[in-house]
A = this chain, B = another copy of it.
Amino acid sequence: MDLDLRKLRYFVAVADRLHFGRAAEELHIAQPVLSRQIRALEHDLGTSLFNRDSHGVTLTDAGRQLMDDAGPLLASAHAVRRRVSASALGSRRLVVGFRAGIPVIPAARVFEARHPDVVVDVQRMEWDDQATMLLDGRVDVGYVRLPIDETGLRLTPLYTEPLMAVLPTGHRLAGKDEVSESDLAGEPLVWHGDASTQPTRRPHPDSGLRVRGVEEKLEHVAAGRGISFVGRSETVFYSRPDISYVPVPDLPPAQIHLAMAADRTSPLADDFFAAAQATAEVTAECGNYEMWQRANDAVSRHG
């Protein structure tokens, strides 16, 4: 009658590896049990999900369809459990996710003014888990950078910011007012999974270093292992003496969106949405290094 989420989880494990033995090991159950559970799921759905050839295990059409759907469904179930647990503790709390460089403070202030009893908790996200964290309820609402798989999400554009090249301070282009993409054509690239900071197709997409967070990226660039790109706001919050940032005006700007799980209704999250949209200008301006300099200059002149 009802879909069995345990079996679904087992199915995902097998479909990921296309190998019953290793999937069973991963799930900490015996292989025959897994075989039987998958058979039961197939019986339940009235169709076979795997082709068991002598050459190995492959997905059927139905299996592929189930694979597409299983992830979001399991994530939703996880999110439900998480939210119920949270509301059981009576916690008036909103978890806001953000990508590196995006300040949550402006919107949080406005939000907390309207909801003095709610604590805004922040949680940094990376390119490869921003969607998952929203879908499985680890964050209630998040500032995300495009591109993102918007399956199961509700996105609202907030603002854009220009991209900057990340160069070691000693680099030949380090002092320039701006560079073009072609100026950097020959440089080795420190890859970030986030395609928003991947300008155009490079000849060898798997050559060079792959990093996950900004700090690692900067570390590699500072060590001279390559160059990279970041959104302008990151230059404010991650400034270091051995790194230079140079605008690259001919690259399309990075898009910052606000996102939440599409299958939810939450007055708190809605109000945070409103607060974030109201403060989008301010939030964007926080990423403007010139603005901070002008402000600092004004203070020091008056000091």
Name A84's contact: one of B9, B66, B85 (CB within 8 Å). Answer: B66
- A84: chain B residues within 8 A (beta carbon): 45, 47, 62, 65-66, 69
- A88: chain B residues within 8 A (beta carbon): 45-47, 60-62
Q: Output the nearest chain B residue to A71 by Cβ-Cβ distance.
A: B263
- A19: chain B residues within 8 A (beta carbon): none
How many copies of this chain does the complex contain? 2
Instruction: Determine whether the beta carbon of A151 is less than 8 Å from that of B265.
Output: yes
Within 8 A of B (CB), among A55-76: 60-62, 64-66, 68-70, 72-74, 76
A153 is an interface residue with CB less than 8 A from chain B: yes
A90 to B152 Cα, complex, angstroms:
25
A279 to B90 Cα, complex, angstroms:
50
Given contacts A84-B47, A84-B66, A265-B151, contact A4 B3 (CB under 8 A): no
Q: Output the nearest chain B residue to A60 by Cβ-Cβ distance.
A: B88
Instruction: Determine whether the beta carbon of B262 is less than 8 Å from that of A152.
Output: yes
A113 is an interface residue with CB less than 8 A from chain B: no
A285 to chain B, nearest CB (A): 30
Instruction: Determine whether the beta carbon of A262 is less than 8 Å from that of B265.
Output: no
Q: 15 new A-B pairs (CB below 8 Å) besides A68-B264, A151-B263?
A: A3-B77, A45-B81, A61-B90, A62-B88, A65-B84, A66-B84, A69-B80, A69-B263, A72-B76, A73-B76, A73-B80, A151-B262, A151-B264, A151-B265, A152-B263
Nearest first, the 6 closest Cβ-Cβ pairs linking A and B are A47-B88, A262-B262, A65-B87, A62-B88, A2-B5, A152-B263
Q: List 17 A-B contacts (CB under 8 A).
A: A1-B6, A2-B6, A2-B9, A2-B77, A3-B5, A4-B5, A45-B88, A61-B87, A62-B85, A62-B87, A69-B263, A72-B76, A72-B263, A73-B73, A76-B263, A151-B263, A154-B154
